[in-house]
Amino acid sequence: MILVTGGAGFIGSNVVHGLNARGHRDILVVDDLEQGDKFRNLVDARISDYIDKDDFARMLERDDPSLRRIEAVLHQGACSDTTVRDGRFMMKQNYESSKALLTFAQARRIPMIYASSAATYGGGDRFVEEPSCEAPLNVYGYSKLLFDQRVRDAIPMRTAPVVGLRYFNVYGPREQHKAKMASVAFHLHHQLLQTDRVRLFVGSGGYGDGEQRRDLVHVDDVVAVNLWFLDHPDHSGIYNVGTGAARPFNDVAKAVIGFHGRGALEYIPFPDTLVGRYQSYTQADLSALRRAGYTAPFTALEAGMSSYLRWLTDHP
């Protein structure tokens, strides 16, 4: 049995579908369905069981015998809202829960692949998996960094593989429940349908209007990297997952307008709440991932946007 935490969420549900495509059905999904609409992400998936995250945490604490069937952990569950200021909540959700899973996986000698984040890098201009590049701008990024540091310390004594994947800006199907934290592509698509306009921030961080640049990676590529490490248990470490190319948000707007054949672009004021907490530029350095042996190409923005916008149109 394969455990997927956050399995009803954006990346987690896509991982479940990726496992299904390989013929895996014995999948335990752990999530929090307080936001009930996430169930839609699993309607067309096959899983063997679902457990609420709080119930699962108690099962881990008592070493419930039913968990002994787990053969691998794909840990995608987290609070991913970078605007949350409640540090106690963030650390409990992202750090403490991850520590418990790491302890479980190492005790059972089973591989664990978990979601880290490019938010660990903060506002720098080098995105290499090393401490000199790490300076998060918010408590979300810090919660991810602290667990990465714990993993680094644990790797020399590991009893099983442990891999952290630093996702850059992921977009693609099944992110509709994320509300304000959904991708720019998702928001611009719906803005255009509702108003015939798409909106981006004015210039910030030394960049022009809409020219803030992010490494935008399709969720299918994220799933492919997760499954590759599942197939290659000889690797442990922390790896970037992005395309390796920073693209301006203006390119996303142009893709949305071009797909629909209509619409205008306007720029709105930069929010005061994001000043000093916003990454204006990210670009994954893929050297470590390539050295590990992952050779598959990443989807270019134009192809990824075309595919995703078709999916959004088919799933209104």
Active site residues: 140, 178
Report the alpha-carbon distance of residue 135 to residue 113 in Å, rounded.
23
Q: Are 7 and 49 in contact (CB under 8 A)?
A: no
The answer to whether the CB of 301 falls within 8 A of the CB of 251 is yes
Beta bridge pairs of residue 281: 213
Q: Is 205 left (phi over 0), alpha (psi -120 to 50) or beta?
A: left
Q: Are 148 and 164 in contact (CB under 8 A)?
A: yes
Burial (CB count <10 Å: 0-12, 13-18, 19+), residue 34 = exposed
Of the candidates 41, 66, 286, the one whose C-alpha atom is nearest the C-alpha of residue 166 is 286
State the number of CA atoms in the 13 A half-sphere of 57 facing the CB: 13
Beta-carbon count within 10 A of 126 CB? 11
**Distance from C-alpha of 291 to C-alpha of 133, rounded to nearest angstrom:** 19
Distance of CA 190 to the CA centre of its chain: 21
Q: Which residues contact 192 (CB under 8 A, 6 or more apart)?
A: 198, 256, 257, 260, 262, 263
Q: Which alpha helices (H) appear in 22-137, and where do they start and end?
A: 53-61, 87-90, 97-108
Structure tokens at 24: 């895996």
Specify which residues 119 forms β-bridges with. Answer: none
Contact 193/242 with Cβ under 8 angstroms?
A: no
Phi, psi for 156 (deg, rounded to 5): -60, -25
Collapse the DSSP code of 116 into the 3-class scheme (helix H, G, I; strand E, B; otherwise coil) and give the result. strand
